[in-house]
A and B are shown apart, each in its own frame.
Chain A
Amino acid sequence: MKGIAAGLAGAVLPAGVADAFNWDAFLQKHFREMSDEELKRVIERLEKETSLEWNKNIHIAATKAQPGVKFGYGLDLSRCIGCRKCVYACVEENNQSRTPQVQWITVLRFKKGEKWIDLENSEKYYNPKEVPEKDFFYMPVQCQQCENPPCVKVCPTKATWKEPDGIVVVDYNWCIGCRYCMAACPYGARRFNWAKPNLSAQELNTETHYLGNRPRYKGVVEKCTFCIQRTRAGKYPACVEICPVGARKFGNLLDPKSEIRYLIENKRVFRLKEDLNTEPKFYYFFAA
C-alpha cells in the first residue's frame, strides 16, 4: 500500500522539489500504527533531523501511559494572582515557537463585581505594573483534557486522540493542518503553527516526548499535554511547579488518596462550560 502511495506521489511531485524531499518523512505512518521497531527507527531519524537543525542532541521519548492512571488538574481561583509565570514556564518547557509567540496557557482577567463568567468582557492582554490588581481576578485557561473531547471527534485523520491516561495528544507528523479541531474546541486551547516555529538552540529543551514537546513543524496543530514528558516520568507539569502561590494542583484521578481527589470531593469545584458535556479533567475551585 505504501508503495502505491510512493508511486503516486512520485508522479505528482515536481522534480525540483524532490532533492529537498524526505521520503521517509512523507511516508511515515501514524504513531499508533507503528510497531515498536518502526517507532524506534522513526525516532532515530527525528532525533537526527533535530540535531542537524539545532546542533544539539535531543532525546525523544515514547513513554507509554501507566495503567491505573488518569491525570486530573485543579486550579485554585482564589489564589491565582495573574502573574503569567505559568505561561512562560510552559513555553520554555514545551519548546513553543518564540517568534511568532505560541502560548498554550491563556490567563483571562475579569473585573470584580461584574457578571461571572463573562468571557466576552474578559481581558487577555492585560499589562499592569504589578499583579495582583485590586479590582480584578484572574482565570488561566488551557487544554481541559476533556474525557469527551470534541476536537478528537472531528479530526478527519485521527491525528489527535485521547491516551489511556486521559491526555489528549497530537501526532505532529500525521496532522494535515485543516484546523477543524480548533473550530471544535470550546476552550480556545489549540494552537496552529502559522509559520515555522522559531526557537534558538539555547532555548531548546532537549528532554522531549514524541506526543509532547518535541519540536513541531510549520502547518500543524499543537496543544497542552499536561507536560506528558514530565508527568509520565513522575514529575509535575511545569506550570504546577512554577506557580508562586500554589494555585495549581495535579494528580491521579484514579487514586482515591490523591490531592486532586481530595479537592474534588471537599472543595467547591466547577468545570468550564459544563453545559457542553465535554467532561473536562480540569477543575476550577475556591479553596479560600
Chain B
Amino acid sequence: MIKVFFIALFRMFKGDIRYYAWLAFLFIVIAAGIGAYAQQADKGLITTAMRDQVSWGFYISNFTFLVGVAAAAVLLVIPAYLYHFKPIKEIVLFGEMLAITAIIMCLLFIVVDMGQPLRVWHLLPVLGMMNFPASVLAWDVVALNGYLFINIALVVYTLSRLAAGKEYKLSVIFPLILLSIPWAVSIHTVTAFLYNGLSSRPFWNASILAPRFLASAFCSGPALMLIILQLIRKFSRVEVDNKAIFKIAELIAFTMGINLFLLGAEVFKEFYSGSVHKAPLEYLYLGLHGKNLLTPWMWTALLFNVTAFVIFLVPKLREGFLTLNLGAVLIIAGIYIEKGLGLIIPGFVPDTLGEIYEYWPTASEGLITAAIWATGALIYTLMVKFSVPIYTGELLGGNK
C-alpha cells in the first residue's frame, strides 16, 4: 500500500504538455497574488476598497461562496450511500476532495482578510482565547475545521483501501458519512448565522437567510461538480456514468427551484411591506439615491439563474451536454454574483448610519482572490492526479 502511494506521488509530477502548462499557469497566478499580498501585508488593508462603512468585501464574499461549494460532496453522498445509487457512489471521492479544497480556500480567504494574521492563534481554544459559545465566528472555526477533517479522513481511508486493492468497508466509513451529512448542512447554517445573528444589519437579520444559503449552495456546488466530473472523465481513465451526471442535474433543478422561490419570498416581503429595511434590496435591484453599481450584476445573476433553472428542469435540455454545461456555467456564475456581491456587500449598504459607500474590489484584492482560486485549482488538480491511478487500480496491474 505504501509502495502504491509512493508510485502515485511520483506520477503526480508526470504529465503531458497540457498538464505542465496548466500547472505553470496556476503558479504564475499564485505568484502574482503573493506579490499583491506582500503589498497588503506591508501597507495594511488600505490596499483594498474596504473601509469602515463596508468593512467586509470580496474576500468574505468568496469565503461565503466557497462554504457553499464545500457542500457539493454531501449532495453526492446522500444518493450514493443512503439510496445506494451506484453511479454516484463511484464518484463521491471527487466530491469529497472538492470539499477539502473548498474549505482550504475558505481558510485562506479568512486569513487574507485579517488585519493581524499572525495573531490567528488567539482564535484557538486553550492556547488562545476562543469566544465559544458566544461568538458565531468561533462556531464557524469549529464547524469548518471539523468538516475539513471528516472529508480528509474519508478520502484517506478510501484511498488507502483502494491502494491495498480492497473494497472499502462500509461499516468503518458509514458512521463518518452519516456524520458528514448534518455537518455539511451545519457549515452552511453556521456561516449563514454568522451574518444572520446581527440585528444591526436588517438585510442579514432575516430568517430566510440560512435557507437561502443552503438552497444556493446546493445549486452551485453540484454545478461545479458536473463540470469537474466531465473534465476528469476526459483527461483520465476514470469512468463516470452519464446516469450520475444526469442525476446530479435533476437534483439541481429542485435546488434552483427552491432558491428562486426563496428569493421571490424575500423580494415580496421587503417591497410589499415597504419599510426602511428594504433599502439594501432596493440598492441591489433598483439602485438607491442614484447609486447603482451592483444593479446590472444582480439582474445578470437573476437572468443566469432563471435560464439555468429552465435548462435543468426540462429533461431534454439537461440531458444534452451542450445545454447541460451551459446551464452549469450559468449557475456557477449566477450564484457567485448572487452570493458574493449580492449577499455580503448590501449588508453594509446603506451602513448603520445611513451612508451609502459603493464598494468595488481593487486590483490588489482581485489578484489575491485569483491567487487563492489558483491555489485551490492546484490543490485539486494534484489531489485528482494523485488519486486517479489508485482509484482506477492501474497501479495494481489494472485488475479493478
Which residues of A line the B interface, CB within 8 A?
1, 4-5, 8-9, 26, 30, 33, 100, 106, 108, 118-122, 124, 141, 150, 153-159, 174-180, 182-188, 190-196, 217-221, 276-277
Contact = CB atoms under 8 A, between A and B. Distances in A.
A176 B44 contact: no
Contact of A180 (B127, B137, B352): B137
B136 A5 contact: no
A185 to B, nearest CB: 6
A156 B127 contact: no
Contacts of A195: 43-44, 46
Contacts of B197: 154
B118 A179 contact: no
B131 A192 contact: no
Nearest to A174: B122
Contacts of B43: 195-196
Contacts of B322: none
Contacts of A124: 353, 355
B52 interface: yes
A157 B354 CA distance: 29
Given A1-B127, A157-B128, A192-B55, A184 B200 contact: yes
B126 A219 contact: no
Given A174-B129, A183-B56, A194-B45, A219 B200 contact: no
B350 interface: yes
Contacts of B130: 156-157
10 contacts: A9-B121, A108-B354, A156-B135, A177-B45, A177-B114, A177-B115, A178-B114, A185-B352, A191-B52, A219-B115
Given A4-B127, A276-B200, A26 B118 contact: yes
B138 interface: yes
B127 A194 contact: no
B356 to A, nearest CB: 8
A153 B134 CA distance: 6
A186 B199 CA distance: 7
A219 B352 contact: no
Contact of A179 (B55, B128, B351): B55
A219 B201 contact: no
A193 B115 contact: yes
Given A182-B52, A192-B45, A187 B352 contact: yes
Interface string B252-283: 00000000000000000000000010010000
Contacts of A192: 45, 52, 55, 115
Contacts of A218: 44, 115
A176 B129 contact: no
Contacts of B199: 150, 186, 276-277
Chain B interface size range: 35 or more
Contacts of B351: 188
B131 A157 contact: yes
A98 B323 CA distance: 57
A182 B55 contact: yes
B344 to A, nearest CB: 10
B171 interface: no
Contacts of B141: 156
A279 B116 CA distance: 31
Most chain-A CB neighbours within 10 Å: which of B119, B122, B194?
Answer: B119
A1 B129 contact: no
A79 to B, nearest CB: 21
9 tightest A-B CB contacts, nearest first: A177-B115, A219-B115, A119-B354, A186-B200, A156-B137, A195-B46, A194-B46, A120-B354, A157-B122
A158 B110 CA distance: 18
Given A100-B46, A122-B353, A174-B119, A150 B200 contact: yes
A30 B129 contact: yes
A141 B351 CA distance: 14
B50 interface: yes
A120 B137 contact: no
Interface string B191-202: 000110111110
Most chain-A CB neighbours within 10 Å: which of B44, B50, B127?
Answer: B44
Contact of B121 (A5, A119, A120): A5
A106 B353 contact: yes
Contacts of A184: 198, 200
Given A122-B353, A158-B129, A188 B114 contact: no
A177 B116 contact: yes
A1 B126 CA distance: 8
Nearest to B120: A176
B347 interface: yes
Contacts of A120: 276, 279, 289, 350, 354
B206 to A, nearest CB: 15
Contacts of A276: 199-200
